[in-house]
Amino acid sequence: MEIKNICCIGAGYVGGPTMSVIALKCPNINITVVDANESKINAWNGPLDKLPIFEPGLKEVVKIARGRNLFFSSNIEDSIEKAEMIFMAVNTPTRTEGEGAGMSADLRFIEACARDIAKYSKSDKIVIEKSTVPVRTAEKIKEILTSENKNVHFEILSNPEFLAEGTAIEDLSKSDRVLIGGDETKSGKKATKALVDIYAKWIPTDKILTTNVWSSELSKLASNAMLAQRVSSINSLSALCEKTEANIDELSMAIGMDHRIGKHFLKASVGFGGSCFQKDILNLVYLCRFYGLDEVAEYWHQVVKINNYQKNRFAQKIINYFGGNLTGKKIAILGWSFKANTNDSRESAAIKVSEILFKNGANLLIYDPKVQKKTILNDIETLWKIRSEDTVREKINIVEKLNDIKQPDAYAILTEWDEFQTIENKESKIIFDGRNINNNKNKVSIGK
Ligand code: NAD
Ligand code: UGA
């Protein structure tokens, strides 16, 4: 089965970069990325240096493919109708209300996509879960599709995305693996082959793994849980290092040199952030409890608990350094994104640490190279639950350049942006370093 038209619902951090790379590698397939957010679509169609997502290498790919076989549109109906294959790349955040609030995934955006697909489809479709979803979500999607449209055949595949922000284009171009879950039926195998053929244009076939739908859905949650577990493991040990004069960098190196363990994801930090690790682990915990596996649930929950402990511990270190009171102290917050090379601040450790410092009396000077001032203000207002207009004027100052930070009492480095490397050499100020870099006498680092 030859695919000529793809529709992707969701033009966010996954839909945008993923479809850009597929379009680049498959010039004979027309790809339309649609989104309910019209201003996001306008930004995708706008100047290359103002795309809605900052991701190294993205604008170069968009430059080649946009207008050739890659399109961004708000016309969801038309794009669904035309496509033989539809990706769902919408957000699946933690539920904030109802059954499972604070733990389980909110599938209302997925369900809305399914209803749109059912409504606008006039020919058979392959529907692909690209979003991260709880195991057995495909069952729910199928129920919506088949009950709301009995005239066409829908084949559902799971194809979770493993890209990391900041390296998305590289990850998509040279994936460790592509995972595709499909049914063992004749039509299931046919749909799986159609998707395998697309990826096989640039991914070696031995890296394309096909499984049943449920293994594929659950592997995504499990992969994120295992990665986050390594970060929480090393972060928990950083606390013990600080008590014993063992050095966390040396520990990471020594542990990681065992090839059975490996060196990646052993970098002690102020805590992992990002839109997915916490939400996916909480979702896993919820699923385990749902199936009556309380011990398993508690095991994974501990990964999130250690992450919260680490963020609090780091903030407390700063408060303790100043004798338990930050009133009148000016703290420079370096970095707002959850990691370097992205403009994404979702669940960033910087948000939590800054909140604790602020609520303990500190004046904050905040700088991030890529997160926009309006995003920082919005994070403060919605997540700290304070009215930012008043507070910002008096106690929080968001600056445009690193050099705009004058005379702070301390720096708190919360994101590992390259440009913060120079801080340590130039100034004699106290630096609280949430990254795992070399220690010096003016520095209070994680694990040291
Ligand atoms: P995002 O919030 O950046 O983008 C989602 C987009 O979907 C938004 O632009 C939103 O407007 C749009 N949308 C929601 N409902 C819609 C609807 N019914 N119709 C049209 N558009 C709709 O989210 P993201 O970071 O791209 O994540 C998407 C999914 O991929 C999530 O399930 C996430 O867990 C998973 N994932 C994310 C990453 C990552 O690095 N961000 C990596 C792997 C997997
Ligand atoms: C993560 C996974 O790495 C991706 O495979 C997955 O697709 C994605 O989640 C997702 O499902 O959303 P991402 O969150 O973009 O990707 O970035 P990571 O590089 O995994 O970093 C996550 C957080 O862990 C960051 O805050 C980072 O600073 C922190 N981290 C990472 C550490 O503190 N130490 C490490 O050794 C590695």
- Render pLDDT for 377-397 as a digit per residue (tens, 0 to 9): 999 999 998 876 666 668 999
Which ligand 1 atom is the nearest neighbour of the CA of 10? 7
CA–chain centroid gap for 48, Å, is: 22
What are the start-end ranges of the H helices in 245-322? Answer: 248-256, 277-290, 294-321
166 CA distance to ligand 2 middle (Å): 10
Which ligand 1 atom is the nearest neighbour of the CA of 130? 30
SS3 72: strand
Pick from 142, 203, 168, 196: which is nearest to 12 by CA? Answer: 168
**161, 217, 242, 355: which is the annotated catalytic residue?**
161
**Quick one: which ligand is closest to 162's CA?**
2
Which tokens in the block code for residue 288?
A: 């385990």
Distance CA 22, CA 320 (A): 51
* pLDDT tens digits, 395-409: 999 999 999 998 899
pLDDT of residue 195: 98
On average, the pLDDT of the chain sits at 94
pLDDT of residue 186: 98
What average pLDDT does the segment 286-306 reach?
98
* pLDDT tens digits, 104-114: 999 999 999 99
Pick from 215, 136, 211: which is nearest to 180 by CA? Answer: 211
274 CA distance to ligand 2 middle (Å): 7
Q: Establish whether residue 37 lines the binding site of ligand 1, counting it when its CB lies within 6 angstroms of any ligand atom.
A: yes
Return the percentage of the chain with pLDDT > 90, whole number.
90
SS3 9: strand
Main-chain phi, psi angles of 410, to 5 degrees: -160, 155
Cβ neighbors of 265 (< 8 A, separation 6 or more) are 227, 230, 231, 234
DSSP state at residue 36? S
Distance set, CA 324 to CA 230, 354, 357, 432 (Å): 31, 15, 11, 15
pLDDT of residue 440: 40
Pick from 157, 75, 153, 151: which is nearest to 116 by CA? Answer: 75
DSSP state at residue 93? P
Is the pLDDT confidence value at 215 over 90?
yes
197 CA distance to ligand 1 middle (Å): 25
pLDDT of residue 434: 80
Pick from 246, 182, 248: which is nearest to 214 by CA? Answer: 182
Which tokens in the block code for residue 304?
A: 């999130």
pLDDT confidence tier of residue 432, bands split at 50, 70 and 90: confident
Q: How many CA atoms lie within 13 A of 410 on its CB side?
A: 27
What average pLDDT does the segment 137-147 reach?
98
Does the active-site annotation cover 441? no
* pLDDT tens digits, 297-341: 999 999 999 999 999 999 999 999 999 999 999 999 999 999 999
330-334 and 154-158 beta bridge pairing: unpaired
Strands (E), 307-436: 330-334, 363-367, 396-398, 410-413, 430-433
Does the active-site annotation cover 161? yes
Q: Kindly tell me the sign of the dihedral angle through the C-alpha atoms of 131, 136, 138, 142.
A: negative
